[in-house]
Amino acid sequence: MADAPSVQDPTTQQTPLLSMQGISKNFPGVKANDSVEFEVRAGEVHALLGENGAGKTTLMNILYGLYQPDAGEIRYRGEVVTFRSPRDAIACGLGLVAQHFHLARRHTVAENIALGLANTPFIFPTRALRERLRELGNHYGLGVNPDARVWQLSPGERQRVEILKALIQGAEILILDEPTSVLTPQEAEALFQVVEQMTSESRAVIFISHKLDEVMRIADTISILRKGAVVGRLKRRDANPARLAELMVGRTIAPPERTSDGLRDRIVLELKGVWVRGDRGVDALKEASFRLQSGEILGVAGVAGNGQAELIEILTGLRQPSRGQILLDGEDITPLGVRGLFEAGVAHIPEDRNHVGIVPGMSVAENLVMRQYRYPPFARGALLDQKQVTRFARSSIDQYDIATPSKDTPSRLLSGGNVQKVILARELSGDPKLVVASHPTYGLDVSAAALTHELMLSQRARGAGVLLVSEDLDELMQLSNRILVLFAGQVMGTVDVEEATSETLGMMMAGAPQEAALGATTDA
Amino acid sequence: MEVDQVTYTVARALAFSTPLLWAALGEIFAERAGVVNLGVEGMMILGAVAGFIVAQTAGAPYLGLVLAATVGAAAALAHAFISITLRGNQYISGLALTIFGLGFSGLIGRSWVGKPLGTPMEFITVPGLSEIPLLGPALFTDQYLLTYVGLVTAALLWFILYYTRPGLALRTVGESPAAADATGTSVTLVRYLAVVFGGLMAGVAGGYLSIAYRPSWGEGMTNGMGWIALAIAIFSLWDPLRAVAASFFFGAFFFLSFLLQKVFPPELLTLLPYTFTIVALTVVALGKEGRAFGAPEALGLPYRRGER
């Protein structure tokens, strides 16, 4: 569509539905938005692209009336408006699907939607809603049971509820904040179709993302935000991923160089017939056996929920296997707990970095020594040597380029990428034998992800064994030497990265044995 | 004789449970909006002393009751300001309110101690219904009007909570203030209204004690009833209709603890409501995620827009 030789671009004709001019917003120590110009026209998808912490969400919170700007104005159909609260924004046809859903988990879908409607009846507020929910659901393919309670719904379904809520409120302009971060690729594609249908009905969509491929897939216009300021605006037909990435991070990003592998002189990790019982009482891992050499990255692929989480947990001491043996450098570490495994040389980069990886309310320095605080030089008997803590914190902040106002700043105030740097600095500081990394770049911006990749590679070069669990096949193929596939708790096989294709891996992830998958894809 | 004793016990338990019900209903609304108010005892006793003084000086019991409600609401306003506007610690603020209320009521009520109220509220007997055998003497003879108003209020509040738009707004504010905020509902306004309403109800409960149930003023005369009301709010799982049953249940225990103190240690009986509350809390905690009942998810948490 965008490449079609259109005589006149219809989206440049009318006045913008909504425009923001000279918007600035300061938070203590941070310029979140700096004289931002932004506009959106009917029938258009306008993507707001930027790294985490670039100010996208702040800008949208201003647009939705949740924050007041320090300077600048918002115009709706050319007229200046002031949004003191979301109520005002909703009245001008705005709808927000926030990254963290605004839903009461114990309430039903209908109850959650009813509260946002101006014409909800005083008595029996959800009664009249059902019919409209069904109509809209059918129209957009967003079917949700109105009587289901939100906690029973998957993240994708919760997102549908948010979209339905906005549509029922009469949203002409829908803001989607990182909408695909909770979706499977198929659900994301379904969302894109909903977006396309909305724009075909001359609604406008503001699509916030830091993922280049989906912005290229769905956007008509792309505004790039960096450090609170708009650094570029282009039509999709004039954009390409490399150009967008460069604008987004302010420099060209080279793909990580395949550094030499480390010395493969020993087996770092070996699992022998390991069974693990999951939370629901069923076996999450069934007789898993594999080996990981020094100087090697072993990728673990699989659809979420096929035993990856339990594998991570037994390797880091958070869960005990019910049968089988785990060897680290030939020694049995099966019975060791979290502390024992750390002392034995296992580093853990957890999936949920904000809750498992750090203590959000404690300072950067405290989080940096969260593992090592009990050993010298940080501990002197029962006392903490604050000088050593400070020295370690300063050197980590320098070495990993952690963007923090000070070492005493609470970690929750850091952006996702910087939280990950704190974790990496802590976990990798003792030159671990084994690095267990779970979705280490999930939700990170391009430059933080690149740094994480570099660190994984340098751990391999140093001779550590790295176990990398990820749902991103590109990432696995880029970094791993071998890729192990888990399906329903079983190891389906291990593929050398040279032989691996996404088709082979995909078939194995769906339960095909390795030989069959390799055979099928080489025949084709 | 035995039947008489049972009907008498039920009748007195009903009278005794009335202030528990009023105070518990108020606390349920405040907590449904996400604000714990441990100041129930304090608001009750401030209501009791203010209501008594006005009823005594003006000779008008219902005017006293109005003042009791107003004073309770005013005391709650202080708690609302600290916990909602200043986002202070709700537990500390509520405890302070109780301690303040107990002390201040003692101070201003000093010269009124031990003087019976000249014009207390009168008993009423419901015509017709009181003729029913057993139920008549147990439920409809020699009760105070506030008992029946309390029961009707409970039903009304239950309906409002679950079947009206303001009730939905209130529950959403207590479950997920961010969700309520995003729909344009003012979290601050809803919470203020709920907390002040809670104070008003506690004030009425205090007024009932000093103007009707025991028409006199004595220092500390609420005697821990505010704490029982808090326990009822939890024990009833924040549901106004269940609060009726829980109040009656606790009321009966207390009345029996007076009645049976020769044969049964009253301390043990007075312990029972708290034991049940602990059991109820345990059941709630063991329940599955997102079960229909349980403490409002944002209970005790101040709300600030956009906080991570």
Q: Are residues B171 and A107, on separate chains, in Cβ contact within 8 Å?
A: yes
List, for residues A367-405, the tens digit of each pLDDT value: 999 999 988 889 988 899 999 999 999 999 999 988 888
Q: Enumerate residues 269 to 308 of chain B having a beta carbon within 8 A of any beta carbon in chain A.
A: 289-292, 294, 297, 305-306, 308
A287 and A426 inside one domain:
yes
| Residue B175 contacts A, CB cutoff 8 Å | yes
Task: Give pLDDT, residue A243.
Answer: 83
The total of structural domains in chain A comes to: 3
User: Rounded to the nearest 10 degrees, what angle do helices A185-200 and A129-140 cross at?
Assistant: 100
How sure is the predictor about A205, in pLDDT bands with cuts at 50, 70 and 90?
very high
| Residue B182 contacts A, CB cutoff 8 Å | yes
Q: Are residues B289 and A114, on separate chains, in Cβ contact within 8 Å?
A: no
| Residue B128 contacts A, CB cutoff 8 Å | no
CB-nearest partner of A107 from B175, B185, B289: B175
How sure is the predictor about A163, in pLDDT bands with cuts at 50, 70 and 90?
very high
Residues from chain A contacting residue B297 (CB–CB below 8 Å):
104-106
Task: Give pLDDT, residue A509.
Answer: 79
The reply to whether A114 falls in a domain is: yes
Q: Chain centroid to CA B190: how far?
A: 19
Q: Chain centroid to CA B167: how far?
A: 19
Residues in chain A: 524
A349 and A212 inside one domain:
no
Q: Comparing A181 with B63, which gets the higher pLDDT?
A: B63
A200 and A158 inside one domain:
no
Q: Comparing B56 with A143, which gets the higher pLDDT?
A: B56
In this prediction, residues B183-193 reach a mean pLDDT of: 94
Q: Which of A249-258, A501-510, B164-173, B299-308 has the highest mean pLDDT?
A: B164-173
Q: Which of A136-150, A367-381, B143-157 has the highest mean pLDDT?
A: B143-157
Q: State pTM to two decimals.
A: 0.76
**pLDDT at residue B119 greater than cutoff 50:** yes
Q: Are residues B164 and A125, on separate chains, in Cβ contact within 8 Å?
A: yes
User: What are the structure tokens assigned to B159, written together?
Assistant: 């309906």
A176 and A162 inside one domain:
no
Give the structural domain span for A118.
Answer: 101-168
Q: Are residues B297 and A105, on separate chains, in Cβ contact within 8 Å?
A: yes
Percent of chain A with pLDDT strictly greater than 70: 92
CA distance A453 to A328: 24
Q: Which of A221, A251, A281 is the last residue of a domain?
A: A251
Which candidate, B125, B142, B137, places its Cα nearest to that of B3? B137
Q: Are residues A115 and B168, on separate chains, in Cβ contact within 8 Å?
A: yes
Q: Which of A128, A143, A168 is the last residue of a domain?
A: A168
Task: Give pLDDT, residue A355.
Answer: 83
Query: Could you report the predicted ipTM of this complex, rounded to two decimals?
Result: 0.85
User: Do A431 and A464 form a contact (C-beta atoms < 8 A)?
Assistant: yes
Whether the bond between A377 and the residue before it is cis, its omega within 30 degrees of 0, is: yes
**pLDDT at residue B289 greater than cutoff 80:** no
A163 and A177 inside one domain:
no
In this prediction, residues B208-228 reach a mean pLDDT of: 93
Residues from chain B contacting residue A126 (CB–CB below 8 Å):
168
Task: Give pLDDT, residue B287.
Answer: 62
Query: What is the H or E stretch that residue B164 is in?
Result: none
**pLDDT at residue B200 greater than cutoff 90:** yes
Q: Which of A122-136, A308-322, B61-75 has the highest mean pLDDT?
A: B61-75
A105 and A121 inside one domain:
yes
Task: Give pLDDT, residue A68.
Answer: 92
Instruction: DSSP letter for A184, please.
Output: -
The total of structural domains in chain B comes to: 1
In this prediction, residues A394-423 reach a mean pLDDT of: 90
Task: Give pLDDT, residue A270.
Answer: 95
How sure is the predictor about A311, in pLDDT bands with cuts at 50, 70 and 90?
very high
In this prediction, residues A508-520 reach a mean pLDDT of: 76
Task: Give pLDDT, residue B267.
Answer: 78
The reply to whether B45 falls in a domain is: yes
How far does the CA of residue A304 sit from the closest CA of chain B (Å)? 21
The reply to whether B300 falls in a domain is: no
The reply to whether B247 falls in a domain is: yes
How sure is the predictor about A63, in pLDDT bands with cuts at 50, 70 and 90?
very high
Minimum mean pLDDT range among A28-37, A218-227, A418-427: A28-37
In this prediction, residues A415-423 reach a mean pLDDT of: 89
* A91: nearest CA partner in chain B: B184
Residues from chain A contacting residue B183 (CB–CB below 8 Å):
86, 90, 102, 115-116, 165
Task: Give pLDDT, residue A19.
Answer: 93
**How high is the mean pLDDT of chain B?**
90
Residues from chain A contacting residue B299 (CB–CB below 8 Å):
none
The reply to whether B237 falls in a domain is: yes
The reply to whether A259 falls in a domain is: no
Find the largest Cα–Cα distance for chain A.
78
A284 and A192 inside one domain:
no
List, for residues A282-309, the tens digit of each pLDDT value: 788 999 999 999 999 999 988 767 888 8
* A60: nearest CA partner in chain B: B306
Residues from chain A contacting residue B168 (CB–CB below 8 Å):
107, 111, 114-115, 125-126
In this prediction, residues B133-153 reach a mean pLDDT of: 92
Indicate which CATH number applies to the domain containing B188.
Answer: 1.10.3470
The reply to whether A505 falls in a domain is: yes
Question: For residue A248, which amino acid is it?
Answer: M
A337 and A385 inside one domain:
yes
A388 and A515 inside one domain:
yes
The reply to whether B299 falls in a domain is: no
Task: Give pLDDT, residue A171.
Answer: 92
In this prediction, residues B262-283 reach a mean pLDDT of: 76
Query: What is the H or E stretch that residue B241 is in?
Result: helix B240-259
**pLDDT at residue A328 greater than cutoff 90:** yes
Q: Which of A251, A281, A310 is the last residue of a domain?
A: A251
**How high is the mean pLDDT of chain A?**
87
List, for residues A466-501, the tens digit of each pLDDT value: 999 987 777 888 899 999 999 889 999 999 988 888
* B181: nearest CA partner in chain A: A86
Indicate which CATH number applies to the domain containing A190.
Answer: 3.40.50.300
Task: Give pLDDT, residue A515.
Answer: 79
Q: Which runs of E-coded beta strand occur in A77-220?
A: 79-81, 94-97, 173-177, 204-209
CB-nearest partner of B181 from A86, A121, A165: A86
Q: Are residues B290 and A102, on separate chains, in Cβ contact within 8 Å?
A: no
Question: For residue B43, which amino acid is it?
Answer: M
CB-nearest partner of B175 from A85, A88, A104: A104
A37 and A139 inside one domain:
no
How sure is the predictor about A4, in pLDDT bands with cuts at 50, 70 and 90?
very low
User: What are the structure tokens assigned to A317, written together?
Assistant: 């001491």
Q: Are residues A125 and B165, on separate chains, in Cβ contact within 8 Å?
A: yes
Tell me which residue has tokens 């673990």: A300
Residues from chain A contacting residue B164 (CB–CB below 8 Å):
122-125
**pLDDT at residue B42 greater than cutoff 60:** yes
A281 and A144 inside one domain:
no
Mutate which of B171, B176, B188 to test chain A, going by most A C-beta atoms within 10 A?
B176
The reply to whether B233 falls in a domain is: yes
In this prediction, residues A450-473 reach a mean pLDDT of: 90
Task: Give pLDDT, residue A253.
Answer: 53
Q: Comparing A521 with A441, which gets the higher pLDDT?
A: A441
CB-nearest partner of B182 from A102, A107, A149: A102
Give the structural domain span for B24.
Answer: 2-292
Task: Give pLDDT, residue A256.
Answer: 56
Residue-by-residue DSSP string for B268-280: HHHHHHHHHHHHH
Kind of pairing between the strands at A45-50 and A221-226: parallel
User: Do A379 and A328 form a contact (C-beta atoms < 8 A)?
Assistant: no
The reply to whether B297 falls in a domain is: no
| Residue B166 contacts A, CB cutoff 8 Å | yes
Task: Give pLDDT, residue A1.
Answer: 38
The reply to whether B216 falls in a domain is: yes
**pLDDT at residue A254 greater than cutoff 70:** no
User: What are the structure tokens assigned to B307, written together?
Assistant: 């906080």
Q: Enumerate residues 56 to 95 of chain B having a beta carbon within 8 A of any beta carbon in chain A.
A: none
| Residue A301 contacts B, CB cutoff 8 Å | no
* B159: nearest CA partner in chain A: A123
Q: Comparing A513 with B13, which gets the higher pLDDT?
A: B13
CA distance B81 to B127: 45
| Residue A61 contacts B, CB cutoff 8 Å | yes
Mutate which of B161, B162, B183, B308 to test chain A, going by most A C-beta atoms within 10 A?
B183
How far does the CA of residue B178 sit from the closest CA of chain A (Å)? 6
Task: Give pLDDT, residue B92.
Answer: 95
A146 and A278 inside one domain:
no
